[in-house]
Amino acid sequence: MEIKDILHPDCTLCAVQGTSKKRVLELISQIANQYLTDIDQATILSSLTCREKMGSTGIGNGIALPHGRLNDLENVIAIVVTSEKPINYDAIDNAPVDIFFAILVPEKKASEHLGTLSAIATKLNNKETLSRMRKATTDQELFEAIS
């Protein structure tokens, strides 16, 4: 799986002024809703927050991988957001988070999303990729850094 297969340039947002986990998840759901016009924002947000209630998706090193399942979704989509300043996200290393790589997966393909998460985590384990993402000043630079 290639990142570019699930991430559209319109689904990247660089250096937002998120102030909380809740606000970042709301922003991710807004971006997804613009791309997934048949699924309302509240449904997207609910999917993301339900997963967070099971345990934080903050994987450490300033990275979070929020994800959710949606019934009316046909294909996996990704949303990538960086925050201007890191925020408290209850990550496993207790460090604040500034890179949010969210994925939304079709409920009927839920078993496939673990492989997708693994591929994303591998990509985000690359120090050069992380550096380019954190240095990005435009949405396009962020898209190019991760795709």
Give catalytic residues, as residue numbers.
67
> Is the distance from CB of 19 to CB of 84 less than 8 angstroms?
no
Number of C-beta neighbours around residue 10 at 10 A: 12
Q: How far is CA 15 from CA 46, 52, 71, 76, 109, in A?
A: 24, 22, 31, 24, 32
For residue 31, which of 103, 114, 117 has the smallest C-alpha distance?
103
